Amino acid sequence: MRIAVLSSTPFNPLEGSGTFVSLDALSRGLRALGHEVELRPLRVRTGFHTLDRWLYNVGVALSPPRGAHLVVGCDLDGFLWARRRRIPFVATLKGIIADERKNERGWVRALLGIQARWERRNTERADLVVLSSRYSADIARAEYDVPASRLAVVPEAIDVEGWRARFARAGQRPRAGPVVLCVARQYPRKRIGDLLYAAAWLRSRIPAARIRIVGKGPEWALLVRLHGALGLGERVALLGDISRERLAEEYANADCFCLPSVQEGFGIVFLEAMAAGLPVVACRAAAVPEVVLDGQTGVLVPPRDPEALARALADLLRRPERARELGEAGRRRAAELTPTLIAERFLDAVRLHIGEVAST
């Protein structure tokens, strides 16, 4: 089967974030099953992401996918073309934009509102809407009125073997104390400020602890100022955007992973952390409890509670044996979500909801 994948999210790890990882894993899995996968990437860049997404979709409508048996549109992509389509179409939502905007402010919130309207149209015009979690499926029904008969939940995959190869090449750095890693695009919903406040609380309890934060985003300047105001100094490193190779090195040199996000459609970084054998500290919010199993692969705390976050981190850093136990359980869980297995589940959903003709 020939499958066309539409995505106006930059197909690189620095800008595309978890969507890049997700689409890459799905494409690998589909190819491993013998299918042809052609990604139609974003080529025209204006510097304004919402405009880029509009222009991309105009381009798809004017020059539609040809020769494909199935088209997969990521998030809102395909919403203009889908009005006159003659090919089976699946919309795969990596995070419900209408849900994401609730935690944003200012111009980001306004632009996400525009994108949410486009995403709603995409769900209305698709034969099938695939979500990564039960949480996202519930939100799709509530925000976009998608009937259950057109919904399917298929979790995200991770290329564990690829990660292991990167870890094998990663060098071990000398360090004086335990290291906590955070990886996120810095939007308000990620609550990175809560981690900075937690770091200030940890300063007197575990002085040797270090926190390393990867990623940039709209909150970058605010977080730099907060870092200075809290006097965190070298205890917390704001690393910005880094390559996948260096990211693997950060995972390989960490003792614990923490992301206090209050909105996740799935949270692919949690899978990455678990694949690295790291225990996870996160918030009991959105889809996170479906990915991070509280007390089994990590520790979940109430959202927007920096002290609870700090106490959970302190407990794991003081109990390395418990941290290793959670990390090993996470590694086993991540190993189950292979690209091939998830691609099979994706195609099973296509067969069930669209029919065999679209998936042979």
Task: Report the distance separating Cα 186 and Cα 192, nearest Å.
Answer: 7
The per-residue pLDDT for 170 is 78
The per-residue pLDDT for 57 is 98
pLDDT at 11 over 90: no
Sheet of 36-40, strand order: 36-40, 2-6, 70-74, 89-93, 128-131, 151-153
Banded model confidence at residue 173, pLDDT cuts 50, 70, 90: confident
Banded model confidence at residue 16, pLDDT cuts 50, 70, 90: very low
Greater model confidence, 231 or 163: 231
Banded model confidence at residue 12, pLDDT cuts 50, 70, 90: low
Residue 39 three-state SS = strand
The per-residue pLDDT for 169 is 82
Domain 160-336 in the same topology as domain 2-157+338-358:
yes
Give residues with Cβ within 8 angstroms of 70, minimum separation 6: 1, 2, 3, 4, 87, 88, 89, 90, 350, 358, 359
pLDDT at 189 over 80: yes
Q: By percentage, how much of the chain surpasses pLDDT 90? A: 85
Task: Report the distance separating Cα 27 and Cα 183, nearest Å.
Answer: 23
The per-residue pLDDT for 164 is 79
Largest CA distance in the chain: 63
Per-residue pLDDT tens over the stretch 99-151:
999 999 999 999 999 999 999 999 999 999 999 999 999 999 999 999 999 99
- The answer to whether the CB of 215 falls within 8 A of the CB of 241 is yes
9: left (phi over 0), alpha (psi -120 to 50) or beta: beta
Lowest mean pLDDT among 238-252, 274-288, 309-323: 238-252
Per-residue pLDDT tens over the stretch 204-218:
999 999 999 999 999
Per-residue pLDDT tens over the stretch 231-250:
999 999 999 999 888 999 99
Domain ranges for the chain? 2-157+338-358, 160-336
Rounded average pLDDT over 79-98: 95
Rounded average pLDDT over 6-17: 68
Domain 2-157+338-358: which CATH number of 3.20.20.70, 3.40.50.300, 3.40.50.2000, 3.30.70.2190: 3.40.50.2000
Residues 160-336, CATH architecture: 3-Layer(aba) Sandwich (3.40)
Banded model confidence at residue 21, pLDDT cuts 50, 70, 90: confident
Rounded average pLDDT over 74-96: 95
